[in-house]
Structure 1
Amino acid sequence: MKARIKWVQDVMFLGESGSGHTVVMDGAPEAGGRNLGVRPMEMLLLGLGGCSAFDVMLILKRGREAVTDCVVDVDAERATTDPKIFTKIQMHYTVTGHALDRKKVERAVQLSTEKYCSASAIMAKTAELSHTITLVESQPSSQPAATAATA
């Protein structure tokens, strides 16, 4: 994997991923920024939540769970002295679907946070990670089930 970060002005940077996507990072006004982009440390939390949500959805879809939505809210605490690393990270998963099996959702979150999510493995080196789960019932999908293609 590769990434490239280019300074724009003051404390604003453009980050370009190896896959060609760009994101603006900027600081708060009190740090010399104009608040026009995400903070670099917020990017870490976004990456953590995105990595885990990716795993959870993949696991549940493979398990044929009727998932219609997954939201991960991440709340973190940082050390008060430099380097201001994350010390506690709470992840709350809200998984919506029809007749979801709570044990399968709990297992998917556990597998993500303890086995598959690279970001969780990295963050757990310095922060206490914890998670909670809320299941939300949705109506069954009105779309016909996908059928396997025939040769």
Structure 2
Amino acid sequence: MHATVKWVDGAQFIGESGSGHSVVMDGPPDHGGRNLGVRPMEMLLLGLGGCSSFDVMSILTKARQAVTDCRVELEAERAEGVPSPFTKIHMQFIVTGKDLKEPQVKRAVELSATKYCSASIMLEAGGVEITHSYEIRSPD
């Protein structure tokens, strides 16, 4: 895996993944940025959500669950001072579909958390407390 991050100006950077996709990162004005992109720590949180969501959807698809929507809402707490790493993250999965089986959704979230999500497992090994919950909704 490879990535490049290039400084643009102020607190703005362009990150390019090895697969050729780019993203803008920027800081707030009080840190020399212009608020034109996500913050780097937000990127880390988004990466965690994407990694775990990928697993959950893969598991539910293999279990032949008719998912029509899946999102995860993440709430994070950070330590005071500098550095200010994440200390706690809560991930709330909201899975929508027709006749979804609660044990399958629960299993998918648990397997992602304990076995498959590299980002989650790495952050927990670094001392971040990560909790998970889920809600099942029927399509409107």
* Both structures adopt the same fold (TM-score exceeding 0.5): yes
1:81 Cα deviation from its structure 2 partner: 2.1
Q: Aligned partners of 1:81, 1:10: CA distance in 2, in Å?
A: 22
1:135 Cα deviation from its structure 2 partner: 0.4
Match of 1:107 in 2: 107
Match of 1:137 in 2: 138
Gaps of 5+ in 1: 140-151
State the Cα deviation string for residues 57-104 of structure 1 (Å, max 9, x = none).
Answer: 000000000111100001000000222110000000000000100011
Match of 1:37 in 2: 37
Match of 1:118 in 2: 118
Q: Aligned partners of 1:114, 1:61: CA distance in 2, in Å?
A: 19
% same residue = 58
Larger Rg computed on CA atoms: 1
Match of 1:142 in 2: none
Q: Aligned partners of 1:109, 1:82: CA distance in 2, in Å?
A: 32
State the Cα deviation string for residues 1-34 of structure 1 (Å, max 9, x = none).
Answer: 0000000001100000000000000001111100
* SS of the residue 2:112 aligns to: helix
Structure 1 residue runs of 4 or more that deviate by more than 4 Å after TM superposition: none
- For normalisation by structure 1, the TM-score amounts to 0.90
* SS of the residue 1:35 aligns to: coil
RMSD: 0.8
- Partner amino acid, structure 1, of 2:23: V
Match of 2:70 in 1: 70
Q: Aligned partners of 1:74, 1:32: CA distance in 2, in Å?
A: 27
Matched, 1:84 2:66: no
Matched, 1:127 2:128: yes
State the Cα deviation string for residues 102-125 of structure 1 (Å, max 9, x = none).
Answer: 011000000001100000011112
Trace 1:15-30 onto structure 2 (pairs within 5 A).
15-30=15-30
1:138 Cα deviation from its structure 2 partner: 1.9
